[in-house]
Chain A
Amino acid sequence: MEETKEIIKPEEKEYSILNLGPTHPATHGIFQNILKMDGEIIMDAEPTVGYIHRAFEKLAEHRPFYQIPPITDRLNYCSSPINNMGWHMTVEKLIGAKIPKRAEYMRVIIMELARIADHIVCDTVIAVDTGAMTGFLYMFQWRELIYEIYEEICGARLTTNIGRIGGMERDFSKTAWAKLDKFMKEFPAKLKEFENLVMRNRIFIDRVVGVGPISAERALSYGFTGPNLRAAGVDYDVRVMNPYSSYEDFEFTVPIGTNGDTYDRFMVRLDEMWQSLSIINQAIKKMPDGPFHADVPDFYLPPKEDVYNNMEALIYHFKIVMGETDVPKGEVYHCVEGGNGELGFYLISDGGRTPYRLHFRRPCFIYYQAYPEMIKGGMLSDAILTMSSMNVIAGELDA
């Protein structure tokens, strides 16, 4: 049939280029996307990353084993205890140390608190990007309480450097237990309040359902892991498939989504927060007595009273601090379930005081590649929501 109207053919259209630049209030982190847009619809995107490349892998080759946790802290800094524990477990796998149950349960509590902290940031920021600022302000009060718990345990709020190779540096103090109990008593009600604000909210659902979808096959091809993959429908959780640190003792379900869109990612993270609360409750109830660190004198600093009174402890202290202990040669890979997915540490040790090669398998870096595919055909505001729902942390992206 003859068309009498003038139709603009795709080749003759003029597209506009929009620079969603590195400094932008809505991109939570510094990465750049150059978007080719047809009006409001995104035709193509080209991401540029590396604006906060801090050369972690090279830095790790020049630091002794116990000086690497501060570097791992700054990978996914919203949930830094998980990164720390991952590194400690990698070295413990290399040296073949067996960690006592009490230390493992303490680690589980800390890691699940970190997961809750990370998911609070992601979920409230998704809400902020749709315009709902209230959830963010209210939930951050509770995130302050998590910070206070970390401060009691290790002294720092955000970049915690928690735990040591061989266990934990000290037992939980009474104040730490008191704060933990307060958190466990009061947080579930507040989480329910946040849920009620957002989960069945008509505006929120209209903004996030069907936005930025990805199918399970494409997600697997892109190397997705963690909540983004579970939102696409694949139930892969490192805590279930390769349990570490006594996760097999705890009962928890792994929430899965269906479409892999923003709503699924939001809900998976929300559900995971409930599961983390349940795991922490189980760990507190079943906490066994015992030592809080393994017997690895080559890596674990002896207590100060022994150092001042006992010659052997003094020598061990000196050797550990100067980095003169014998580290076994070998290559090991260990992965933990970070806030964003499988965070892996590939360590090659040649017996020296620093690793020969340390490679971080960073989930954010791997799944951010899929971002152009996820936003193609959507609108600009959907692209912003997709980015915040993927929980891209710039520190982990660039490392």
Chain B
Amino acid sequence: MAEIITPKINITEKPPGHEGHGFFATSLDKVVGMARKNSLWPLPFATSCCGIEFMATMGSHYDLGRFGSERLSFSPRQADLLMVMGTIAKKMGPILRQVYEQMAEPRWVLSMGACASSGGIFDTYSVLQGIDRIIPVDVYIPGCPPRPEQVIDGILKIQELVQSEAIRRRDTPEYKAMLAKYGIE
């Protein structure tokens, strides 16, 4: 804690492409994917104990900011990644749905913790048994609460998804079919 450690700065790898003097040619979706994945702006939808573990992950010990998520956005219109952390009760369901619908494409959803993924230990009349009943989810992080390392692992998986995704996935028929299943247009 006492000595100052100068960190080794890592720069993200450039995608495969053709390089020359003053130019670099690669396919657009690779560049867009690289840019998107290293600057995800999360919306921390923290409801309960997983929210405190997220606060610990954002702290300096585990530091989620090094993956590009330094700027948390509390407005859904400016966020890329909806991180649902904590139990979602049935009373909260419509609000979560409203927040999701306000997000602009491209958007991803990360469900952190057992309660958000499946209801967790609360198999009761008032708890929504998993947020994937109301919104589509990309990555599930199990745990009660998950360790910060697991949260970072989940973010890395989201980054893989972001990297390998088509630029306009909202136009693909599978995506449209999935949204139609949830009743989101």
Contacts and interface: CB of A to CB of B under 8 A. Distances in A.
Contacts of A158: 49, 52-53, 56, 145
B56 A147 contact: yes
B49 A74 contact: yes
A177 interface: no
Contacts of A121: 52
Contacts, number: 89
A84 B71 CA distance: 36
B89 interface: yes
B99 interface: yes
Interface string A278-298: 000000000000000000000
A24 interface: yes
Contacts of B126: 53-55
Contacts of B59: 137, 140-141, 143-144
Contacts of A29: 47
B86 interface: yes
Interface string B49-70: 1001101100111000000000
A157 interface: yes
A21 B92 CA distance: 11
A28 to B, nearest CB: 8
Interface in A44-96: 50-55, 58-59, 70-71, 73-74, 77-78
A398 B89 CA distance: 11
A349 to B, nearest CB: 21
Contact of B91 (A51, A59, A141): A51
A159 B145 contact: yes
A30 B47 contact: yes
B124 A59 contact: yes
B89 A54 contact: yes
Contact of A53 (B89, B99, B145): B89
A159 B56 contact: no
Given A23-B45, A78-B52, A159-B49, A51 B125 contact: no
B102 to A, nearest CB: 11
Contacts of B74: 23-25
Interface string A1-36: 000000000000000000001111100011000000
Contacts of A74: 48-49
A186 B147 CA distance: 25
B61 A141 contact: yes
Contacts of B104: none
A144 B59 CA distance: 9
B144 interface: yes
Contacts of A159: 49, 144-145
A140 B60 contact: yes
Given A30-B92, A159-B145, A51 B47 contact: yes
A55 B48 contact: no
Contacts of B87: 52, 54
A17 B26 CA distance: 52
A110 interface: no
A140 B52 CA distance: 11
Instruction: Categorize the interface residue count of chain B.
Output: 20 to 34
Given A52-B48, A186-B1, A394-B48, A22 B60 contact: no
Interface in A360-399: 394-395, 398
Nearest to B86: A52
B182 interface: no
B179 interface: no
Nearest to A124: B55
Nearest to A137: B60
B122 interface: yes
A55 B127 contact: yes
B124 A52 contact: no
A157 B72 CA distance: 24
Most B CB contacts (10 A, CB to CB) among A70, A73, A74 go to: A74
A395 B48 CA distance: 6
B124 A50 contact: no
B178 interface: no
Contacts of A147: 56
Interface in B106-165: 121-122, 124-127, 144-145, 147
The 4 closest A-B pairs by CB, nearest first: A55-B124, A77-B49, A25-B74, A140-B59
Interface of A: 21-25, 29-30, 50-55, 58-59, 70-71, 73-74, 77-78, 121, 137, 140-141, 143-144, 147, 157-159, 186, 394-395, 398
14 contacts: A21-B95, A23-B45, A29-B47, A52-B87, A53-B126, A54-B122, A54-B124, A71-B121, A141-B61, A144-B59, A158-B52, A159-B145, A186-B1, A394-B47
Interface of B: 1, 45, 47-49, 52-53, 55-56, 59-61, 72, 74, 86-87, 89, 91-92, 95, 99, 121-122, 124-127, 144-145, 147
